[in-house]
Structure 1
Amino acid sequence: MRRLTSVLPTLPLLAALAAAPLSSAVAAAVTAERLNQAAEDTSNWMSHGRDYSEQRFSPLDQINSENAYRLGLDWYHEFDSKRGLEATPLVIDGVLYTTGTWNRVYAFDAETGKELWSFDPQVNREIGIKLCCDAVNRGLAAWGDKLYMGTLDGRLIAIDSKTGEDVWTVQTTDPDKAYSITGAPRVIKGKVMIGNGGAEFGVRGYFSAYDAETGDQLWRFYTVPGNPAEETDPLMKEISSTWSGEWWKLGGGGTAWDSMAYDPELDLLYVGVGNGSPWNREIRSNGEGDNLFLSSIVAVRPDTGEYVWHYQTTPGEEWDYTATQHMILADLELDGEARKVIMQAPKNGNFYVLDRETGEFINADNYVDINWMSGFDENGRPQVVPEARYATSGKPWVGSPGFLGGHSWQPMSFNPETGLVYFPTRQMNFPYIPDANFEIGDKKVNLGTDMHAAAMPQDPAIKAAVKAATKGRLVAWDPIQQKEVWGVDKPVPWNGGTLSTSGDLVFQGDGQGYFKAFDARTGEEKWSWFAQTGIVAAPISYSVDDRQYIAVMAGWGGALPLLTGDLSAESTAGQTNRLLVFSLDGEQKLPEFKQINKPLNPPADTADAETVAQGKLIYQNYCASCHGDTAVSGGVLPDLRYASGWTFDNWNSILIDGLYKNKGMVSFGDVLKPEQAQAVKSYVIHRANQALDELKKQEEGDK
């Protein structure tokens, strides 16, 4: 008989925790005791994953599979940005805290929606050029009377939870390098844990601990070694043997940009580590070595940062198969033995179950189709197939999954009552082609793969086939049997994280703009609500005065909408971003939804084929990561094909002179010549006219 239980022991709560949240909406101090017992606290959502186990399971059942149809909007808040919203809100004693774009922080009365305060750290919009994946933030951490947030420009800020005032700020990264922070911090025993991003731009990854009261750095753990001739850390010297060449000159990568979890019983902090920099291992490490700790789960002591164990999900990573995806702690009964496990579904397409005390591989199986490996050896090491080593062979290879992964950062949830893990997946391939002209350059991603050659083909039949093969899915996964129990197909491959509840429900938003509730045991849709914009964040649940609420940040954005516009064609994008809060019989209404259809009215396509080809090459290197592959936007930033005549007339003022730098569109005058900027303009005009021709043919066909 299989048994699944929560990772945290059931302990009697203090009377203060059992009491209803304060109606005056004043949060009490968050303590170690409260966080250790958070799994039993039905009113609050005090940390990123609700409790240290990161299960994202709510024991509330007032809203359940029998009455979910009665759900309605209770209150909402509109934000003044259309960039992506990825935050998980916190709810502490009747106050809801969340983050929006550009690291703005908000506090609301969790019952009424009244805004209590807001805080803007004044992130310079020019930092946008150092961001791979939108001006997003995934949320806050809480300790005592403070909130903590990592900013896009690498700061860690402590904020007074009652007033919204800045208490202290520390710069956690080198501001002259392309580091960023999008992940939510965690607080353990008065220490704030934070990592960073930027591997695509050539940095060396690490995560650090800071004193929650003072902001003093307590320790730092590097995830890849530096120059062996200069290393003094014995661990870094040891793992440098898994590298080759002069990787440190290229950064190495391994940024810890999202997931963490903590086991208070074992006193272990688990951190997910990202991809190599550049992707191409032939360039990064002479095509040799496992390159630790890339694409690994690393366990350390939170007091000191002392290394305890690691497991590498993808040895010799060169496909952007990060292990930064959400990790869940649980106790499972496997083969008649109670095991303390950590579970993860990283980008590489496998669902892993590891012993969280030792790092021992227990089992794994693929949750999407994969072709980069043939299986696992007796020690749980993936067996990489030779043809997947595109960098060494020099031959193009179509990887499944592609660099956006079978599952990305969108949080999973685990329901100990059903024994299932719920998470969004995608089947999405990518052609890995070595970049014969690789060179390190500012204001472009440094991957070592040819993004120009890998662009979406414009042949209608090929494009249609690629779209047909790209799928999204909500999956309910049995971690013991290592199999899908049920799944729901999604028209868009980029969808939201999940929340599961004791009401036998799973909540998820999707790229089409719908927020839905599913039966946790069968996958039957129980409720659907149109949010007017795509949703990628994960929902939460909390209660105030014995009333249960479901809240979610609704705002379309992130890596896929920025880069792969053609594959976001079915999305509801570019609409108003909101925080949405639901309850049974909620009666609020959103303003009327109006579909935005901009006219295509490009200048004449007069450039010669050579100029257009040159413009495409430059566009794919410098512009595609924000405005979309082959000049097709996914709805987050402007689709340049629809640019106005004024924009085309002032093209060089924008691209070279930095006319819009305060909006995040920095000057490219230091890397592009005026004639190169004009070539990009010619390419965009060419693509706009192609789109106009397709539209006319479609209209004629409709007649």
Structure 2
Amino acid sequence: MNVDRLKCLAGSAMVLALAGTISGYWSDAAAETVVDDAALGDRGQKDNWLAYGRDHSEQRFSPLDQINVDNVGKLGLAWSRPLPEDRALVGTPLVVDGVMYFTGSYSVARAVDARTGKLIWEYNPETLKHAGDRARMMWGWSRGLTFYKGKVIIATADGRLIALDAKTGAPIWTTQTFDPKLPLHISGAPKAFRDLVIVGNGGSEQGGGRGFITAYHVETGEQAWRFYVVPGNPADGFEDEAQAMAATTWTGEWWKIGGGGQTWNAFTYDAEFDQILIGTGNGGPWNQKIRSPQGGDNLFLCSVVALDATTGKYKWHYQTTPGETWDYTSTMDIVLADLELKEGEGRKKVLMHAPKNGFFYVIDRKDGKLLSAEPFAKVTWATGIDMKTGRPIEAPGARYEDKPITIWPSVFGAHSWHAMSYNPNTGLVYIPQMELPTHWDDTKIDFNSWKKPSFQIDVGVDVGLGSDIPKDAGTSFLMAWDPVKQKKVWEVPQPNYWNAGTMTTAGNLVFQGRIDGKFAAYDARDGKELWSVNVGSGISAPPITYAVDGTQYVSLLVGFGGAAVAYGGGSSMAQYGWGYRAQLRQLLTFAVGAGKPMPEVGEPTFAKVLTPDGFTPDDKLADRGQHVYKASCAWCHGAGAVSGGYTPDLRASEAVVHTEQFKAIVQEGALAPNGMPRFRSLSDDDLKALQNFIRKQALEAAQPASN
């Protein structure tokens, strides 16, 4: 493992430090909070937001109640910080002793005064420079960072883990967490516990191979342990008994195909059982007929896996979707709680989990035993969960065995990574729930010639990403769910789908941002909307709350992002006008009685497609271009070449029309510093095909709508 000790602010690591501000701020500060496992395990501490889910429980519940159902209507803007260089902002800020830490685009880390938003320091890991051509398969957003014993630790999209001095932003150590030759990337937040920090990665769709999670020593950055989600080649031997056991659930030569199981989110430390709980990812490719042709459960895909916190050794697992073939990851929140499931039997130490597949699970943390499971959204791939075996009861034809099928939930899930929260006072979980389907069709896939992709997208089944996603593709709700009774208590309809994560408080409040730019507070007991504000741009990040000098604040990053915006996109996302760099990204903070005016961020904008005279798309070339687009371009530019706002809409791009300019950008990397990577593997014929496909999409969009 390559670990570099950095003793000065030199080289490519750039730190902007406001020297007087740093020394002055901490010299005036009160006694500092030591952020260790004792602090992270203290659910009663109020003022700080110390971890991704506020504390080790991942409940995203704050005991603060200064802002409550009686006065939340008086919330106003206390301060804002413009973030003009950022794009997608999906992360959770942390607050420690009046300082807020957060990551922006490409993992740029910042510390600001949590009372005013004034910058204390900024660290730029220069992610695009380090990634080079690998940027063609990574996204630029970061879900956050971790804080532990005076260190802020960030993970970059290109695969580095970097520890920074929390007071100055100066780098302490950096570690490359995976082989840069592999098509892997990081979008999730690392997690610190027991003097370790863990981080996973993504890449199943691009041929990333065996998924794994790695723990590093917080003090040095040296690797402590690694756990593989998917077993390797049996001829090479297995790392441990868990890998040998998992190998019996696979068929064919899965180690050559890829396997998948990348762990890019959902890490929870359970101190009571001294275990780290990992939510694992989907198969690579998605289609099980390719990666494991004779079936099998394919452990440890789409599972909750418990590992010994010190050694990383396997303890137990529960698989939510055995033999998955629908991208039903379990990389969603794993929330800890003590619940009385049956009257008179006392409280059980459980975890709560609502993964993509549409079922809400309550699982015993001691041994992984399933205690209850019910659907919380429309589910057609399975009719229920067999409580004797813990396995889903699959619906006939759900695996698209003989013909195409449309099933719910979609590849975006009934619940994605957008955080759910749990309020122990109300006993309810607040879920950003979605309902939309995916049409699965592998009738045109040649299983005999299929090859593992590398830095391109091939999931082994057609799910329609070459076509636009219509405006009315899905619906969604903010749902309050009773995990004991396993039933819905209330729901609030929301626009479209892909609304942001939630946060709940002892003031009987639930806060959530929405796709249409609305940030709202609801009564946690009945869902009544009590306050809202329009922030002028789509919201994808979850809010936090904290207190400084006796005042409670609520903060939120604003910058539309996530897979549905980039990879999905289409008209379903584009309809709101949150165009590429069209609105100013920002950090907003609210308090009762504050009254600063909301900042002007820019009006909604919509793509004006170009239809140049004299360019008539060739249908055969356009068909080939669609395949090239799905493999290399859809990851960021959206389904059907309709951008959701993460990147420019190619149908409106002058560069696409002019061959030499298009070539300079795509093949030669003319816009690489802006985040548009170089695709040296695409030939001139590929570019010509792409031009025809994009121009065809533009012409179709320019046609007047039929009545």
Under a length normalisation based on structure 1, what TM-score does the superposition of the two structures give? 0.91
Cα distance in 2 between the residues matched to 1:624 and 1:422:
32
Describe the shift of the 1:493–1:477 C-alpha distance in structure 2 as closer, same or farther (beyond 3 A). Answer: same
Match of 1:329 among 321, 333, 336: 336
Are 2:643 and 1:633 equivalent residues in the alignment?
Answer: yes
Report what 1:10 is aligned to: none
Report what 2:224 is aligned to: 218
Contact 1:134 1:557 in 2 (8 A): no
Report what 2:438 is aligned to: 430
Describe the shift of the 1:279–1:634 C-alpha distance in structure 2 as closer, same or farther (beyond 3 A). Answer: same
Instruction: Report deviation, 1:615.
Output: 2.0
Report what 1:500 is aligned to: 504
Report what 1:367 is aligned to: 376
Give RMSD over aligned pairs.
2.0
1:236-251 to 2 correspondence within 5 Å?
236-251=243-258
Are 2:401 and 1:407 equivalent residues in the alignment?
Answer: no
Contact 2:409 2:438 in 1 (8 A): yes
Instruction: Report deviation, 1:572.
Output: 4.8
Report what 1:49 is aligned to: 53
Match of 1:103 among 99, 107, 111: 107
Describe the shift of the 1:680–1:25 C-alpha distance in structure 2 as closer, same or farther (beyond 3 A). Answer: farther
Are 2:452 and 1:447 equivalent residues in the alignment?
Answer: no
Instruction: Report deviation, 1:598.
Output: 5.0
Contact 1:36 1:52 in 2 (8 A): yes
Cα distance in 1 between the residues matched to 2:141 and 2:38:
31
Report what 2:139 is aligned to: 134
Report what 1:316 is aligned to: 323
Contact 1:27 1:94 in 2 (8 A): no
Report what 2:210 is aligned to: 204
Cα distance in 2 between the residues matched to 1:128 and 1:265:
44
Describe the shift of the 1:22–1:263 C-alpha distance in structure 2 as closer, same or farther (beyond 3 A). Answer: farther
The AA in structure 1 aligned to 2:676 is: M
Match of 2:597 among 563, 570, 589: 589
Report what 2:236 is aligned to: 230
Report what 1:304 is aligned to: 311
In structure 2, stretches of 5+ residues that fail to align are 1-25
The AA in structure 2 aligned to 1:667 is: R
Describe the shift of the 1:501–1:24 C-alpha distance in structure 2 as closer, same or farther (beyond 3 A). Answer: same
Cα distance in 2 between the residues matched to 1:439 and 1:433:
18
Cα distance in 1 between the residues matched to 2:656 and 2:483:
56
Which whole-Å deviations, capped at 9, do the CAs of 1:259-282 have from their partners, x for residues lacking one?
011221221211100000111111
The AA in structure 1 aligned to 2:186 is: I
Cα distance in 2 between the residues matched to 1:70 and 1:128:
49
Report what 1:546 is aligned to: 550
Match of 2:281 among 274, 279, 285: 274
Contact 1:130 1:178 in 2 (8 A): no
Instruction: Report deviation, 1:442.
Output: 3.3
Report what 1:573 is aligned to: 578
Question: Secondary structure at the residue paired with 1:351?
Answer: strand
Cα distance in 2 between the residues matched to 1:130 and 1:248:
25
Contact 1:26 1:95 in 2 (8 A): no
Question: Secondary structure at the residue paired with 2:476?
Answer: strand
Cα distance in 2 between the residues matched to 1:443 and 1:307:
31
Instruction: Report deviation, 1:204.
Output: 1.1
Report what 2:620 is aligned to: 610
Instruction: Report deviation, 1:663.
Output: 2.4
Question: Secondary structure at the residue paired with 2:117?
Answer: coil
Instruction: Report deviation, 1:384.
Output: 1.9
Instruction: Report deviation, 1:324.
Output: 0.6
In structure 1, stretches of 5+ residues that fail to align are 1-20, 458-462
Report what 1:15 is aligned to: none
Question: Secondary structure at the residue paired with 2:691?
Answer: helix
Match of 2:481 among 468, 477, 483: 477
Which whole-Å deviations, capped at 9, do the CAs of 1:137-167 have from their partners, x for residues lacking one?
1111111111111111111110000000110
Contact 1:22 1:94 in 2 (8 A): no
The AA in structure 2 aligned to 1:449 is: V
Aligned length: 665
Describe the shift of the 1:692–1:153 C-alpha distance in structure 2 as closer, same or farther (beyond 3 A). Answer: same
Contact 1:346 1:408 in 2 (8 A): yes
Question: Secondary structure at the residue paired with 2:686?
Answer: helix
Contact 2:500 2:540 in 1 (8 A): yes
Instruction: Report deviation, 1:520.
Output: 0.6
Cα distance in 2 between the residues matched to 1:646 and 1:618:
15
The AA in structure 2 aligned to 1:222 is: Y
Cα distance in 1 between the residues matched to 2:137 and 2:494:
25
Instruction: Report deviation, 1:454.
Output: 5.7
Instruction: Report deviation, 1:27.
Output: 5.0
Instruction: Report deviation, 1:420.
Output: 0.4
Cα distance in 1 between the residues matched to 2:634 and 2:187:
21
Question: Secondary structure at the residue paired with 1:675?
Answer: helix
Instruction: Report deviation, 1:613.
Output: 2.2
Cα distance in 2 between the residues matched to 1:23 and 1:571:
45
The AA in structure 1 aligned to 2:145 is: L
Are 2:655 and 1:655 equivalent residues in the alignment?
Answer: no
Contact 1:26 1:162 in 2 (8 A): no
Question: Secondary structure at the residue paired with 1:388?
Answer: coil
Describe the shift of the 1:132–1:313 C-alpha distance in structure 2 as closer, same or farther (beyond 3 A). Answer: farther
Instruction: Report deviation, 1:178.
Output: 1.1
Report what 2:349 is aligned to: 340
Instruction: Report deviation, 1:374.
Output: 2.0
Under a length normalisation based on structure 2, what TM-score does the superposition of the two structures give? 0.91
Question: Secondary structure at the residue paired with 2:397?
Answer: helix
Report what 1:685 is aligned to: 695
Report what 2:367 is aligned to: 358
Question: Secondary structure at the residue paired with 2:163?
Answer: strand
Instruction: Report deviation, 1:428.
Output: 1.2
Report what 2:424 is aligned to: 416
Describe the shift of the 1:419–1:692 C-alpha distance in structure 2 as closer, same or farther (beyond 3 A). Answer: same
Question: Secondary structure at the residue paired with 1:242?
Answer: coil
Contact 2:471 2:575 in 1 (8 A): no
Contact 1:130 1:179 in 2 (8 A): no
Cα distance in 2 between the residues matched to 1:357 and 1:312:
16
Describe the shift of the 1:131–1:403 C-alpha distance in structure 2 as closer, same or farther (beyond 3 A). Answer: farther
Contact 2:466 2:629 in 1 (8 A): no
Are 2:90 and 1:86 equivalent residues in the alignment?
Answer: yes
Report what 1:5 is aligned to: none
Cα distance in 1 between the residues matched to 2:117 and 2:297:
50
Cα distance in 1 between the residues matched to 2:655 and 2:157:
33
Are 2:69 and 1:65 equivalent residues in the alignment?
Answer: yes
Which whole-Å deviations, capped at 9, do the CAs of 1:29-88 have from their partners, x for residues lacking one?
322322222x11111011111111110001111111111111111111111335211111
Cα distance in 1 between the residues matched to 2:133 and 2:411:
21
Question: Secondary structure at the residue paired with 1:556?
Answer: coil
Question: Secondary structure at the residue paired with 2:572?
Answer: helix
Report what 1:174 is aligned to: 179
Are 2:635 and 1:642 equivalent residues in the alignment?
Answer: no
Contact 1:27 1:162 in 2 (8 A): no
Contact 1:130 1:443 in 2 (8 A): no
Cα distance in 1 between the residues matched to 2:294 and 2:558:
42
Describe the shift of the 1:131–1:303 C-alpha distance in structure 2 as closer, same or farther (beyond 3 A). Answer: farther
Cα distance in 2 between the residues matched to 1:301 and 1:131:
36
Contact 1:128 1:665 in 2 (8 A): no
Match of 1:290 among 283, 289, 297: 297
Contact 2:136 2:677 in 1 (8 A): no
Identical columns (%)? 43
Describe the shift of the 1:131–1:571 C-alpha distance in structure 2 as closer, same or farther (beyond 3 A). Answer: farther
Cα distance in 2 between the residues matched to 1:658 and 1:556:
25
Match of 2:79 among 75, 81, 84: 75
Instruction: Report deviation, 1:560.
Output: 0.4
Question: Secondary structure at the residue paired with 1:630?
Answer: helix
